[in-house]
Amino acid sequence: MRIEKYIKLKNGQYKLRLDNHTNILLHEDLILKHNLLINKNINEEQIDKLLEENTSYIAYDLALNYLKIKMRSKKEVGDYLTKKGVNPSLIDNAIDLLIKQGYLNDDMYTKAYINDRINLSYDGPYKIRESLIKLGINEEIINHNINIFDKELEKKRIIKIIERQIKINHNKGNNLLKRKILDYLVMQGYTKETAMSEVNKIKIDDQDIMKKEYDKLYKKLSKKYRGKELEYKIKQKLYQKGFYHEG
């Protein structure tokens, strides 16, 4: 058979039209590698080998384009190629090649990921660690890099979060405020011991806040309740908001 025509497609692919009226799709690198622009004669055996090799190029290109968007872990690339229906052996080959070429590096990825989470989020060390594990990062790599998140940095971030949470929960009493902030810090992946130590330092004069809350509750609940029942209902609501009202 002889190659009669080359038709350029997307993603570096070419359609080769043969003189027996059949078409084959090949990556441009393969065309150059096998000198098909000059040696236009081709047989069935060569075609089979080229098509098999072509699937490897497609897998590689898919992965490379995926990495152009942002850094990825090996697991992310593997999962992406699996979703694209790529054969597992070709996935391994593509990943090995990308590692050799420096496009995939879980250690560099981990450093960048931790740095981003520190600068762009309120995540603590445990939450970052959990996220990295889900991304398929080896625990040894995580342990080596998470050390940047030392106790001093953790404490600074906790204090900053506490200041922010106090502003957000400005209408809460001390007791509820402390519970909410501690729960938030633990949920964000901070050490409970360190979080509790800083939360216990919170001292807010909530009497003015309580007075405002009392007046709002009185105005609302006095439409429905009177006397001792009204006072009881107000106290109940204030307690729920973290205040201890004493008449």
Number of domain units in the chain = 4
Same domain, 17 and 66: yes
Question: Which of the two residues, 238 and 46, has the higher pLDDT score?
Answer: 46
Same domain, 91 and 8: yes
As a whole number, the mean pLDDT across the chain is 88
Q: How confident is the model at residue 247 (pLDDT cuts 50, 70, 90)?
A: very low
Q: Sign of the CA dihedral 84, 85, 91, 93?
A: negative
Q: What is the pLDDT of residue 100?
A: 93
Same domain, 31 and 73: yes
What is the mean pLDDT of the segment spanning 83-98? 91
Q: What is the pLDDT of residue 246?
A: 43
Q: Minimal CA–CA distance to 84: which of 104, 69, 64, 70?
A: 64
- Measured distance CA(181)–CA(165) in Å, rounded: 7
Same domain, 199 and 234: no
- pTM for the model stands at 0.72
What is the mean pLDDT of the segment spanning 199-224? 78
Same domain, 18 and 88: yes
Q: What are phi and psi of 127, to 5 degrees?
A: -70, -40
What is the mean pLDDT of the segment spanning 209-222? 78
The top-scoring range by mean pLDDT among 134-138, 205-209, 212-216 is 134-138
Same domain, 22 and 91: yes
Same domain, 215 and 168: no
pLDDT higher than threshold 70 for residue 207: no
Token pair of 1 as six digits:
């058979």
The pLDDT tens digits for 117-145 are 999 999 999 999 999 999 999 999 999 99
- Measured distance CA(28)–CA(45) in Å, rounded: 19
Residues spanned by the domain of 247: 206-247
**Exposure b/e, 49-85, CB count within 10 A at least 16 = b:** ebeeebebbbbbbbbbebbeeebbbbebbbebbeeee
Same domain, 140 and 187: no
Same domain, 190 and 212: no
What is the mean pLDDT of the segment spanning 161-181? 85
Last residue in a domain, options 66, 100, 134: 100
Question: Which of the two residues, 237 and 163, has the higher pLDDT score?
Answer: 163
Question: Which of the two residues, 52 and 119, has the higher pLDDT score?
Answer: 119
Q: Where residue 118 sits, what CATH number does that domain have?
A: 1.10.10
Same domain, 24 and 89: yes
The pLDDT tens digits for 2-26 are 888 888 887 778 888 898 888 988 8
- Measured distance CA(121)–CA(74) in Å, rounded: 23
